[in-house]
Amino acid sequence: MEKKYTNGDITVVWKPDVCAHSTLCWKGLHEVFNPKNRPWVDMKGAGTDAIIAQVDKCPSGALTWYRNDAGAQEPESTEVETIVEATPNGPLMIYGNIRVKDSAGNDTVRHKVTALCRCGSSGNKPYCDGTHKKIGFQD
Ligand code: FES
């Protein structure tokens, strides 16, 4: 079930069923993302720019954000070369701007980092949801 957290400026959206448990969020910005707290997201823990920078690093798309005054919108695009990296025993990481068209016909613009399933067992294809660890994917 989707949850939303706001600081009045932006809203962070968390989709737990999409989370790949990369732990990047709480290792990168523990003042905001702390899985030991309830709620686990404290929007007062850091400034808006720091929260945006951290959320943009979420590889699965479980964490996204939008500006409250502009309604739901895509984050600003970045001027970076797109890099595709097959991680050992893990997902296909894509760094840069991409448009993902899934089998259901959804068209999603993604920025910064995206993790696509390489093991074939994700419950959230085409994105990685961390299942590769549970099944012991080797490649
Ligand atoms: S590569 Fe992560 S779930 Fe398939």
Per-residue pLDDT 10s for the chain (139 aa) are: 889 999 999 999 998 888 888 899 999 999 999 999 999 999 999 999 999 999 988 888 889 988 888 644 455 554 557 889 999 999 999 988 888 888 888 888 887 788 999 999 999 899 998 899 999 999 9
Is the C-beta atom of 121 inside 6 A of ligand 1?
A: yes
- Helix or strand (DSSP H, E) at 63: strand 63-67
Distance from residue 98's CA to the centre of ligand 1 (Å): 19
Domains and CATH numbers, the chain: 3-70 (3.30.70.20), 83-134 (3.40.5)
pTM recorded for the entire structure: 0.57
Alpha helices in 1-139 (DSSP H): 24-28, 48-55, 131-134
Q: Is the CB of 119 under 6 A from ligand 1?
A: yes
Question: Of all atoms in ligand 1, which is nearest to the CA of residue 20?
Answer: 2
3 state SS of 91: coil
At residue 52, what are phi and psi to the nearest 5 degrees?
Answer: -60, -45
Ligand 1 probe mutation, 22, 92, 125, 132, most atoms within 8 A of CB: 132
Q: Is the CB of 114 under 6 A from ligand 1?
A: no
